[in-house]
């Protein structure tokens, strides 16, 4: 029996076309399901509350109180630990400056891990705000820098160590490129990120000449017992997958008058932090009296608030 003799059904569907259509449909649906698989795996869909949240600068104190409560609830649900989340505002008459003594730094990397502990950085995948570069004496050539060094003892002969983190620029390129204004410079000089407003386009990461910004490629994982419960909205509260983060001079500490965590842990006293508007502060004294040799990559015009200096 040839195909031409098959009587066409009244509605134009015969056995062959039915089978063909259903085969195509089944395959198509299976492919669709497979392509949606990552979505099904996605955790932390934004809640309605989070989705409808206002822009940071437009929030009233009441709005902020609700948001902080929501974050506390979320963290408690996830980590089984009630955190203390606040939104610390910049102080009047304060502009932060960081000074780092390259003569004193021994490259022990304690600052790197103190930062991770204080700021609830993801341990897996590992995110770190500070990179300690090892460079040969007599050069400041980033091409010769190495950050995977692991000798039995530091400092090594003929090398110096240069920790690099967010330089809190006065003219920050990362802020300029943000298409949604999720990152901005506060009056005390700290460039902050609203993790609830960031869309994760990573333009800021590309714009930063210091590789100071980090992207959460996966959901950050922090062991429960290592969570720091003292949190701030613009600072160290746990981040979501798909947002940027970076050093914020330990906003939750420094805006309460404390030194940042990397400074507290430095065994060599190479790190100095303070208010540049106060002529009596340590950083003012350093910039007045010491051989402050660079702002890193001075020539790109970012004007960092992070200064490197030498003793002698």
Partner 1 sequence: MSTDSKTKATLLLLTVVFTFMAAGFLASPSARPTLQFNPLVDTNVLDTATVRRSYADLVRADEDLSDFDCYACHEKDKPPPLRFDENHKLIIPKEHVNIVMEHGRHDRNNNCYNCHNEQNLERFQSRDGRELKFADSTALCGSCHGPTYRDWEAGVHGRTSGYWNRSLGEYDRKKCVHCHDPHSPKFPGRKPAPGPHPLRGAEPEVAHVETKH
Give yes or no for residue 86 binding partner 1 (CB under 8 A). no
Query: Contact with partner 1 (CB under 8 A): which of 77, 138, 148, 299?
Result: 148
CB of 307 to partner 1, least distance (A): 12
Phi, psi (5° rounding) for residue 218?
A: -125, 170
User: Which 8-state DSSP code applies to residue 147?
Assistant: S
180, 85, 126, 259: CA torsion to nearest 10? 100
Q: Which residues from 175-214 bind partner 1, rule CB under 8 A?
A: none
x/- track of binding to partner 1 for residues 22-41 (CB under 8 A): -x---x--xx-xx--x---x
Give yes or no for residue 277 binding partner 1 (CB under 8 A). no
Let me know if 4 is exposed, middle or buried by CB neighbors in 10 A (0-12, 13-18, 19+).
exposed
Residue-wise DSSP of 207-220: H-TT--EEE--S--
Q: What phi-psi label fits residue 89: left (phi over 0), alpha (psi between -120 and 50 degrees) or beta? A: beta
Query: Contact with partner 1 (CB under 8 A): which of 214, 274, 295, 308?
Result: 274
Contact window for partner 1 (CB under 8 A) among 2-10, 56-64, 164-172, 217-225: 217-225
Determine contact, residues 262/93, Cβ cutoff 8 Å: no
Let me know if 284 is exposed, middle or buried by CB neighbors in 10 A (0-12, 13-18, 19+).
middle
Give yes or no for residue 143 binding partner 1 (CB under 8 A). no
Binding site for partner 1 (CB under 8 A): 23, 27, 30-31, 33-34, 37, 41, 43, 91, 104, 106-110, 112-114, 116-117, 123-126, 128, 131, 147-155, 219, 221, 223, 226, 254, 256-259, 263-269, 272-275, 281-282, 285-286, 289-290, 311
């Amino acid at each position: 029996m040839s195909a031409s003799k098959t009587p066409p059904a009244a509605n134009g569907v015969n056995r062959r076309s039915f089978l063909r259509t259903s085969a195509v449909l089944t395959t198509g649906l299976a492919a669709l399901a497979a392509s949606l698989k990552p979505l099904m795996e996605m955790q932390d869909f934004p809640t309605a509350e989070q989705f409808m949240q206002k822009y940071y600068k437009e929030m009233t104190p009441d709005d902020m109180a609700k948001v902080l409560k929501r974050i506390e609830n979320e963290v408690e649900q996830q980590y089984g630990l009630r955190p203390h989340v606040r939104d610390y505002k910049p102080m009047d008459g304060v502009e932060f400056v960081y000074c780092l003594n390259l003569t004193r730094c021994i490259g022990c990397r304690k600052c790197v891990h103190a930062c991770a502990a204080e700021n609830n950085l993801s341990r897996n995948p590992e995110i770190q705000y500070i990179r300690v570069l090892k460079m040969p004496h007599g050069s400041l050539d980033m091409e010769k820098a190495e950050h995977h060094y692991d000798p039995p003892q530091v400092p090594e002969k003929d090398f110096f160590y240069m920790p690099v983190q967010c330089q809190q620029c006065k003219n920050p390129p990362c802020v300029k490129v943000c298409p949604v204004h999720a990152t901005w410079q506060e009056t005390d000089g700290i460039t902050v990120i609203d993790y609830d407003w960031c869309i994760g386009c990573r333009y800021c990461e590309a714009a930063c000449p210091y590789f100071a910004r980090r992207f959460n490629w996966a959901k950050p994982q922090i062991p429960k017992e290592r969570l720091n419960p003292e949190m701030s909205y613009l600072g160290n509260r746990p981040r979501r997958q798909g947002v940027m983060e970076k050093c914020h001079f330990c906003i939750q500490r420094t805006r309460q008058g404390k030194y940042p965590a990397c400074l507290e842990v430095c065994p060599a006293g190479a790190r100095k932090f303070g208010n540049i508007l106060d002529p009596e502060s340590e950083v003012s004294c350093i910039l007045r009296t010491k051989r402050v040799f660079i702002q890193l990559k001075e020539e790109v015009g970012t004007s960092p608030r992070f200064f490197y200096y030498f003793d002698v």
